[in-house]
Amino acid sequence: MGILVSLLAVIVLILIVYLGVGVANLQFVFGVIVPYVAMVTFFAGIIYRVMKWASAPVPFRIPTTGGQQKSLPWITAARFDNPYTTAGVIGRIALEVLLFRSLFRNTRVELREGPKLAYYWEKWLWLAALMFHWSFLIILLRHLRLFTDPVPYFVSLLEGIDGFLRVGLQGLFITDILIVAAATYLFIRRVIIPQVRYISLPADYFPLFLILGIVLSGVLMRYFFRVDVTAVKELAMGLVTFSPKVPEEGIGVLFYTHLFLVSVLGAYFPFSKLVHMGGIFLTPTRNLPNNSRAFRHINPWNYPVKVHSYEEYEEEFREKMKKVGLPVEKE
Amino acid sequence: MIRMRDKPYIILGLVIFLGLLAFPFWYNVGKASAAPEPSLDTPAIRQLSQKQCVEARSYMRKSHMQLLNDWRNWVVRDGDRIYVAENGKKYEISLQNSCLQCHSNKAQFCDQCHNYVGVAPDCWTCHIEPEENK
């Protein structure tokens, strides 16, 4: 159900472009207005989401731990799995963001006859996720060649390394193959594992289909149905220098499909689970050092509590207490 | 309003992140970027009565690299040196003798767009780079 709804949504998006650009010739709308609206939505949305997270109170240390806590000096503490210093936390987050360390611990659980609980080695999810995210980043950075003039050296360098496989005259980008393979794997995994399929919602399928649509339209443009790259860059440069104009040389509908799907992704990003990009840094179970036993943490917004101690109480009622024969501490 | 203890750090991180994302916007500030204008002004082209490349202009703009790749394969692998264009006209398949005959101005023609979009085609690892006509 979720699959069909999401697939249909992406197909409708593609149809919108085909009608908008292919039939109604609204190049300016899809080439300038939609990307700008998407950019503004993305930036504003990210700021909104992060500030909303920032205003959530985190009065206590609630790190999840996966190793020995820092205790006596002769017991080796797990520096990253149970961090107790800021450096340890930074290391933990960095490993998480760059290498998906906690996903690496993923295992497959099965209840076998007996009944016996069995854990299996399962690194494919980690591998596919890592391939997908790194490819996405490198592809994004490669696209800077269309948004910068002159093209910075690191972009050309990255492109050279990524495209060192040569098929025909052009570089075949390794990341293009990896991202298609990884996204396909992640989709198939979602569908064929019953438990994963059961918990999958349109919010899971839609971004997957959207990204697959973006990737495939990009791959088609680069390797199969070519577009006028110079005209594409003219459009892109117009956008980033705030002097937008649709180039005189027409660009095909395929390009506008790519651009529109990217715009939709950008606008959808801050309001979907894709904001885990920012959320990973603000996860209290990851970004707090586990030092509750070493330091006393006082809730910073505790108000001063009015107390009435027993001493004061006795001071106030001593005479009355004596009269009824209650024991008092001071005579 | 809940007080935010880590607000300065979070805002710093957010500013850095958004600053990095906005890289194309500030990188291009103050750099004049003009769309390339490949020059068709060469002696050979001037003499042409009908100024038309082997295929239509829009096709050449999009797919000249594909065409050159096919040409290379046909000549080197199949020994086929005749290209029949869409309109039936025949051309000799040769970079030096066909393409560069007209486009003898590599710096004003090829390099214009190639530098603009940041591609470095490796034509000249095998072919002799044309000497610019003054």
In angstroms, the CA A83 to CA A65 distance is 8
Is A21 within a domain? yes
pLDDT digits (tens, 9 = 90+) for B56-71: 888 998 889 889 989 9
Identify whether the C-beta of residue B100 lies closer than 8 Å to the C-beta of residue B44: no
Task: With CA atoms as reference, report the closest residue to B95 among B133, B125, B61, B51.
Answer: B125
Would strands B82-84 and A170-172 be described as parallel, antiparallel, or unpaired? unpaired
**Contact: A230, B14; criterion CB under 8 Å:** no
Contacts of A151 in chain B (CB under 8 A): 117-118
Percent of chain B having pLDDT more than 90? 19
**Contact: B36, A231; criterion CB under 8 Å:** no
Is A331 within a domain? no
What local confidence, expressed as pLDDT, does residue A61 receive? 85
Interface test with A, best of B119, B122, B126, B127 (most A CBs within 10 A): B119
What local confidence, expressed as pLDDT, does residue B98 receive? 87
For A227, the closest chain B residue by CA position comes to B62
The CA-based angle A285-A289-A290, given to 5 degrees, is 85
What local confidence, expressed as pLDDT, does residue A235 receive? 93
What local confidence, expressed as pLDDT, does residue B5 receive? 64
For residue B91, give the H/E element and its range. Answer: strand B90-92
Identify whether the C-beta of residue A183 lies closer than 8 Å to the C-beta of residue A208: yes
Contacts of B63 in chain A (CB under 8 A): 226
B132 pLDDT band, cuts 50/70/90, is: low
pLDDT of A165 higher than 50: yes
| Mean pLDDT score of chain B | 85
Task: With CA atoms as reference, report the closest residue to A21 among A34, A7, A10.
Answer: A34
Complex prediction ipTM: 0.88
Lowest mean pLDDT among A19-33, A258-272, A298-312, B52-66: A298-312
Please tell me which of the candidates A151, A169, A227 has its beta carbon nearest to residue B69.
A169
Is A329 within a domain? no
In this structure, what token pair is assigned to residue A225? Answer: 């149905």
Between A and B, how many CB-CB pairs are < 8 A? 99
Is A80 within a domain? yes
Is A330 within a domain? no
Is A328 within a domain? no
State the DSSP code for A248.
S
pLDDT of A280 higher than 60: yes
Task: Collapse the DSSP code of A167 into the 3-class scheme (helix H, G, I; strand E, B; otherwise coil) and give the result.
Answer: strand
What local confidence, expressed as pLDDT, does residue A197 receive? 92
- Radius of gyration of chain A from Cα atoms? 29
pLDDT of B4 higher than 70: no
What local confidence, expressed as pLDDT, does residue A54 receive? 87
State the DSSP code for A270.
G
Contacts of A237 in chain B (CB under 8 A): 28, 33, 35
pLDDT of A200 higher than 80: yes
In angstroms, the CA B134 to CA B119 distance is 25
Contacts of B69 in chain A (CB under 8 A): 168-170
- Phi then psi for A194, rounded to 5 degrees? -55, -45
Whether the CB of A155 is below 8 Å from some CB of chain B: the reply is yes
In angstroms, the CA A86 to CA A92 distance is 10
What total of structural domains would you count in chain A?
1
More confident residue, A209 or A251: A209
Give the CATH number, domain containing residue A313.
1.20.950.20
Is A28 within a domain? yes
Identify whether the C-beta of residue B24 lies closer than 8 Å to the C-beta of residue A240: yes
pLDDT digits (tens, 9 = 90+) for A7-45: 999 999 999 999 998 888 888 999 999 999 999 999 999
pLDDT of B41 higher than 70: yes
Is A17 within a domain? yes
Quote the domain boundaries for residue A104. Answer: 2-323
